[in-house]
Amino acid sequence: MSESVGEFAVSQGGQLRGRSWFAGMIRPLTESLAAESDRWPLWVPVAVGLGIAFYFALPVEPPTWVGPVGLGTAGVAGVVVRCQARLLILAAAVAALCLGLTAAQIRTAIVDAPVLTQELRAVMVTARVAEVQQLPFGSRLVLERSRIQFLAPEKTPRRIRVRVAARDQPQLWPGMWVRLRATLAPPSAPAAPGAFDFQRHAFFQGIGASGFVFGHAEPVDPPEGEKTESAAWHIWLAEFRQDVTRRVEDALPGGVGAIAAALTTGSRNAIPEDVIEAMRDSGLAHLLSISGLHMGLVAGILFFSLRGLLSLMPPLALGYPIKKWAAVVALLGAFLYLLISGGTVPTQRSFLMTSVVLVAVLVDRSAISMRLVAWAALVLLLFSPEAMVGPSFQMSFAAVVCLIAAYEATRDYRRRRRADAGWLRRFGHYAGDLAATSLVATIATAPYAIYHFNRVADYSVAANMLAVPLTGIWVMPWAVVAFLLMPFGFERFGLVPMGWGIEAVITIAKTVAAWPGAVTLVPAMPVAALGLITLGGLWVCLWQRRWRLYGLAGIAAGVLAMALVRPPDLLVSGDGKLVAVKDDDGEILFSSGRAARFDGGIWLRRAGQKERAPWPRDGYGADGRLACDTLGCIYRAEGQIIAIAWKPGALIEDCHVADLVVSTEPVRRACPSAKRVIDRFDLWRDGGHAVWIERDGVRIQSVHEARGARPWVVAPRSDP
């Protein structure tokens, strides 16, 4: 009996010591959490974003009641446990997660519209022009209210997008009705599992088909029953934007005018490819996307210019609130800039933040920077939840959050450093701050540049130190002048000097991009790595006590996950026209140098490779893995034999020796040796395939398998 009591006491003591150790570990965290209660609201948009991410990660569409019921349940639970802080925080976090899920479900239901499920060749289309996007060669039209030959009205997409290659195409304007002959197809599926999902992107834009036009788009009278006037506000706005773009490009032809149009109306389609490449490789591509820099400059120029002008009039300056007048004008100017620029995600975020700052001026309050970003993110997430999975939202908010966190952490140091500093030292401090800003923004956006574009601009800090001040001091002020003179037809007096500055920016971009090692190409990053880096970075930036450093562990785990990712050994395009395999050095070899250019370009980018490396048409490859003849190829890796058949005759032998058979033709015979067969029917039904070869077999994932059954996934017809 005494032994039993002793054993019980020992066990209880061990449990108590375990609990004491656990409590000792948890106590500092709970104390830090309680001490930073003023930062809790900053995590609301993070939780909402996690709910949205959960929605988009699901393989199937959740029931419509899941989000609202979860939100309501969490709300009721919060009321019940409102006196218990820990449980209340948990209920609020669950409510925010469910709010994000609900917002995504509602948004999907709102934009849901018919999508083309099969290709329609050379059909007649009558439609109203919604947008006209100028390209370096030709133009792109977004059409609405379409009437498509051989397609029932209930199956007609809400909007379609077509490309007009004809150089002598008559000028078209939003609101015009046109008739054209076009080949239309469903929006493109991803080129490989995990690649950019254009179908999802088009779904949330309301675009249900895309294609190209034969010849010209002919203006016609509206069909019977359609209104002749273009009363819709978006038509009027698109027409106004097109007119502004035309006037800008008339004053500044070529690439300079295209960039000027991008900075004024957000129209970037006409920028020459070599200029885009130089801007991207030098780390200046963000200057082409209207964001916080541009919106802040426009509002700031209007605010300080008007306030300075009014201060020269003593009766007004002494008797009236000229500061608030200037804030109202700046707010209106920022709103007009938002409309004219097309309202992209970075522009919306910038306008929300700018408007809060200006409203704070009107009500004699000071804005809290990080909270300002949090509320801007929350509004965008609730109204456009799909933006969260795109590069614009991610890179824009990553840069802003990290910059604000850096300035919060160094505020006292910078204040002490500037005290009693002379003009020379102040200039040095300005240059140092500019370099630090560029460095922080580059580090903050690097994971998202790697994930979405598979590249890092190594000299972006140097390029931004030269180009950003030039843009702020010269380019954007002249853009504001051009806008102010445009109603009087004198915009050229502002656009020409603006063009001089743009030419200098292009020169900087091309010079930096030409430096050796200007770009580092990086293989595709898994989404889990991006998630770990994002959550770790948010932990570092949103908290202020020393426990923020725990976020570095999340960032390190994300970087480690990047290093451990293994690219596929074999890729097959959805149309069966292109196959790629990996050689001993990790380089991917392509079956064709021209076929499937779009898919091949994405494969190259995701592999971190510059150019297509061809494989042997006849004979063995350099490493002996690949052997080809006119009928097909045999690829050997990890003890597995992969047969790639171009013609049915290759299957006679391949089906008796290969562990995996990949055929660009339908396989209508048994393959005794093959554990799996991927033929033309599989490619048509499930899209492109990725194959990982291991010693115990092969692992295969198709595009449709990776995406699941979602509203934006176009299901194939019952027969090919």
pLDDT in tens, 209-253: 999 999 889 999 888 777 644 456 777 888 888 888 889 989 998
Give residue 15's pLDDT band: very low, low, confident or very high (50, 70, 90): low
Please, is 487 exposed, middle or buried when counting C-beta atoms within 10 Å of its C-beta (0-12, 13-18, 19+)? Answer: exposed
What is the C-alpha to C-alpha distance for residues 44 and 636, in angstroms, rounded to an integer? 51
Measured over all CA atoms, what is the biggest interatomic distance in the chain, rounded to whole angstroms?
Answer: 103
Give residue 420's pLDDT band: very low, low, confident or very high (50, 70, 90): low
| Structure-model confidence comparison of residues 713 and 223, the more confident one | 713
What is the C-alpha to C-alpha distance for residues 239 and 171, in angstroms, rounded to an integer? 12
pLDDT for the residue numbered 29: 75
Instruction: Tokens for 202, please give them.
Output: 């088009």
| Structure-model confidence comparison of residues 430 and 639, the more confident one | 639
| Structure-model confidence comparison of residues 704 and 593, the more confident one | 704
Please list, residue by residue across 398-433, b when 16 or more beta carbons sit within 10 angstroms of its beta carbon and e when fewer do: bbbbbbbbbbeeeeeeeeeeeeeeeeeeeeeeeeee
pLDDT at residue 40 tops 70:
yes
Pick the closest to residue 472 from 422, 520, 437, 515 (CA basis).
437
What is the C-alpha to C-alpha distance for residues 290 and 475, in angstroms, rounded to an integer? 13
For residue 180, give the H/E element and its range. strand 177-185
CATH of domain 120-231: 2.40.50
Kindly state the average pLDDT of the residues 329-351: 83
Angle at 314 between CA 311 and CA 318, to 5 degrees: 85
> Residues of the chain with pLDDT > 90: what percent?
46
Kindly state the average pLDDT of the residues 133-161: 91
pLDDT for the residue numbered 398: 92
Instruction: Tokens for 365, please give them.
Output: 């309050």
Kindly state the average pLDDT of the residues 422-449: 80
pLDDT tens for each residue of 564-577 = 888 899 999 998 89
pLDDT for the residue numbered 167: 76
Pick the closest to residue 52 from 386, 402, 523, 550 (CA basis).
386
What is the C-alpha to C-alpha distance for residues 257 and 280, in angstroms, rounded to an integer? 18
Kindly state the average pLDDT of the residues 428-445: 80
The whole-model pTM stands at 0.87
pLDDT for the residue numbered 109: 95
pLDDT at residue 718 tops 70:
no
| Structure-model confidence comparison of residues 717 and 299, the more confident one | 299
Q: How far is CA 273 from CA 261, 268, 270, in A?
A: 15, 11, 9
The order of strands in the sheet holding 588-590 is 613-614, 588-590, 579-582, 570-572, 689-694, 697-702
Instruction: Tokens for 162, please give them.
Output: 């077509």
pLDDT for the residue numbered 543: 93
Give residue 184's pLDDT band: very low, low, confident or very high (50, 70, 90): very high
Please, is 109 exposed, middle or buried when counting C-beta atoms within 10 Å of its C-beta (0-12, 13-18, 19+)? Answer: exposed
Give residue 10's pLDDT band: very low, low, confident or very high (50, 70, 90): very low
pLDDT for the residue numbered 421: 65
Give residue 19's pLDDT band: very low, low, confident or very high (50, 70, 90): low
pLDDT at residue 559 tops 90:
yes
Residue pair 552/536 in contact (Cβ under 8 Å)? The answer is yes
pLDDT tens for each residue of 270-285 = 889 899 999 999 999 8
Q: How far is CA 251 from CA 485, 499, 670, in A?
A: 13, 9, 67
- Mean pLDDT score across all residues of the chain: 87
What is the C-alpha to C-alpha distance for residues 57 and 34, in angstroms, rounded to an integer? 32
> Residues of the chain with pLDDT > 70: what percent?
92
Q: What ranges do the domains of the chain cover?
A: 1-30, 36-111, 120-231, 248-518, 527-564, 570-707
pLDDT tens for each residue of 675-695 = 899 999 999 889 999 999 998
| Structure-model confidence comparison of residues 111 and 83, the more confident one | 111
Q: How far is CA 386 from CA 353, 373, 396, 547, in A?
A: 20, 18, 15, 32
What is the C-alpha to C-alpha distance for residues 552 and 187, in angstroms, rounded to an integer? 40
For residue 645, give the H/E element and its range. strand 640-645
pLDDT for the residue numbered 2: 47
Got the DSSP string for 120-154? EEEEEEEEEEEEEEE-SSSEEEEEEEEEETT--GG
pLDDT for the residue numbered 83: 82
Instruction: Tokens for 173, please give them.
Output: 């304007």
pLDDT for the residue numbered 241: 86
Supply the Cα-derived Rg of the chain in whole angstroms: 29
Pick the closest to residue 528 from 552, 559, 553, 551 (CA basis).
559
Please, is 547 exposed, middle or buried when counting C-beta atoms within 10 Å of its C-beta (0-12, 13-18, 19+)? Answer: middle
CB atoms under 10 Å from CB of 231, counted, come to: 9
What is the C-alpha to C-alpha distance for residues 633 and 621, in angstroms, rounded to an integer? 11
pLDDT for the residue numbered 16: 47
91: which residues sit within 8 A by CB, 6+ positions away?
74, 75, 77, 78, 81
| SS3 (DSSP) at 148 | strand
pLDDT for the residue numbered 267: 83
CB atoms under 10 Å from CB of 282, counted, come to: 30
